[in-house]
Amino acid sequence: MFCYQCGRRLSKHDFCTSCRADVGLYKKVMYVSEMYYNEGLEKACVRDLTGAIVSLRHSLKFNKNNIMARNLLGLVYFEMGETVTALREWVTSKNLSPEKNIADEYIDKVQSNSARLDSINQTIKKYNRALALCSQDSRDLAVIQLKKVLSLNPRYVSAHQLLALLYMEREEWERAERELRKCLEIDRGNVQTIRYLKEVEQMLAPDEGIKPSSRHRKDDSVRYQSENEVIIQPLNVREPKRGGISTLLNIGIGLVVGLAAMYFLVVPAAESRARNEEQQTILKISNESDVKTARIQELEGQIETLKGDIESLYGEIEGYVGVDGTLQTTEILLQVAAAYVETGDDQTAAAGLADIAGRVNIEEMTEGFRRLYQSVNGVVMPKLAQSYFQEGSRLFNASSYSEAVGPLEQAVAYDEANEEALYMLAQSYRILGENEKAIAAYDKVIALFPDSWRADNSKSYRDRLAGAN
Amino acid sequence: MINFEEELKKFHPSLEVEDAVDAIYSQDLTDMADILVKKIMGTEEGNIQKGVKE
């Protein structure tokens, strides 16, 4: 105990040895607080929780800093299901004495489990709702709510009491008694519970007057009223002893009844549960199967697409590798070029180039192929054209027009810009009497070389032939 | 005979978690020791003032 003025520890004297303040009365107040705490503790130990609350509250009225009294008060409230009230006391205790306070542990235990705290809060809310329903005359609903509350928190004394009161209102005395007895198991000194129980016992044993304990005395019978019926229950009546055969018979009947109950109640339930589990399994497998089927279909679609791609690629490869394929044509071109380099034979090379031009479209080939083809063609063709022109020109000058036509046609075919060869060809056709071919050749001379003297001559010959036709 | 309506009035709503903070703050913590100390201090101050006047 410390001095209220200087804070020093007090001695046995009625004054403070440090500041000389008069602490006689103050010490008495502190002692009274301790006395009430001890009383509260004793009551709590014998489960007189209501009495303990009264004593501990008195203790705190004398000394609010009596931490042990406050913590015990919290515990008592917690035991009676008033968790939030208990928390209030512990939090206050923690604020008054932050160091080495067991209230800290109590608060942690309650608050560490958030699900449990939420459940407690729900219980309290349900209880408050039930209380409101009672005031609104919805007592059936209130009974349902209170049953839920007690299923969640069986130590909730107020809920037991309220439920008992509702049962009493409905004259369900046995149920009311059951609830009140549960109350007494938690809190033996609750005057309200005892008063209700006395009323209930009077109603259960109306003939016994005001002696509630008479119901338990060793009498011949107990009478009590349940709703509109008076029930007489004999006491101290023992079943007459029977022989061993009847006992065995009873055991046998009991076993048969038990097995029948098992067969009709437990087995169908187990079968139903097993069926449900099987259905769940089948459903699960079915779902997995659906997923796999969908996956298989998707993969089959991918396989079809890939097959199409493979066939397309095979076609392309065939195009490159086949008899008339690109690779084959490239090989021919290489052979033509090699043969020309080795032999210098223009005609063979020209025939090879013509063969290649017949096989493939040169413009669609690779760049290397096109360049090689055009290089060989650019070397071979002018020389060949010149060769044919010289042959045709010689024959034309020798007046062998029919023989000259062939070489001149080749010369023009290989070199369209050879004006002289084209003109000689036109003259040869005219002399040989092939007027249509001559006119066509003259038209080419006129079209390709319009400013030359051969074009002027071609015009006059063409007009003459056209007039003759 | 117990009167249901009268008994019902004796039941009060329990404190909910949401109300806990208000309940803690609104708690009257004045105790007998506080009143006594205040009284003693007041008496001593009165005596001092009387002594000064005299």
Residue labelled with tokens 């029930």:
A231
Q: Which of B11, B17, B27 sits opposite A162 (nearest CB)?
A: B11
Query: Per DSSP, what are the bridge partners of residue A229?
Result: A226
pLDDT of the residue at A59:
93
Determine contact, residues A174/A197, Cβ cutoff 8 Å: no
Joined together, the tokens standing for residue A437 give 């071919």
User: Maximum distance among all alpha carbons in chain A?
Assistant: 168
Helix, strand, coil percentages, rounded to 5, for chain B? 65, 0, 35
pLDDT of the residue at A218:
46
Amino acid at B10: K
pTM of the model: 0.49
Is any Cβ of chain A less than 8 angstroms from the Cβ of B24? yes
Q: ipTM of the predicted structure?
A: 0.82
Please indicate whether, in this complex, the C-beta atoms of A128 and B14 are within 8 angstroms of each other.
Answer: yes
In this structure, the number of other CB atoms found within 10 A of the CB of residue A32 comes to 17
* Spatial CB neighbours of A178, under 8 Å, sequence gap ≥ 6: none
> From CA A377, how far away is CA A350, in angstroms rounded?
7
Buried b (16+ CB within 10 A) or exposed e, A38-51: ebbbebbeebbbbb
**CA–CA min distance B44, chain A (Å):** 10
Please indicate whether, in this complex, the C-beta atoms of A124 and B20 are within 8 angstroms of each other.
Answer: no
Residue labelled with tokens 């229950």:
A233
Q: Which helix (H) or strand (E) holds A232?
A: strand A229-234
Amino acid at A296: I
Is any Cβ of chain B less than 8 angstroms from the Cβ of A327? no
Residues in chain A predicted with pLDDT less than 70, given as ranges, are 206-228, 230-243, 321-324, 469
> From CA A307, how far away is CA A319, in angstroms rounded?
18
pLDDT of the residue at A143:
92
| Partners of residue B24 in chain A, C-beta under 8 Å | 88, 91-92
Is any Cβ of chain B less than 8 angstroms from the Cβ of A25? yes
> From CA A421, how far away is CA A138, in angstroms rounded?
126
Please indicate whether, in this complex, the C-beta atoms of B34 and A29 are within 8 angstroms of each other.
Answer: no
pLDDT of the residue at B18:
86
Which among A10, A35, A87, A118 is the top mutation candidate for probing chain B, defined by the most B β-carbons within 10 Å of its own β-carbon? A87
What phi-psi label fits residue A236: left (phi over 0), alpha (psi between -120 and 50 degrees) or beta?
left
Q: Which helix (H) or strand (E) holds A225?
A: strand A221-226
pLDDT of the residue at A213:
46
Is any Cβ of chain A less than 8 angstroms from the Cβ of B30? yes
Determine contact, residues A45/A37, Cβ cutoff 8 Å: no
Residue labelled with tokens 């001095």:
A3
pLDDT in tens, B6-43: 888 989 998 888 888 888 888 888 888 888 888 888 88
In this structure, the number of other CB atoms found within 10 A of the CB of residue A22 comes to 14
pLDDT of the residue at A44:
93
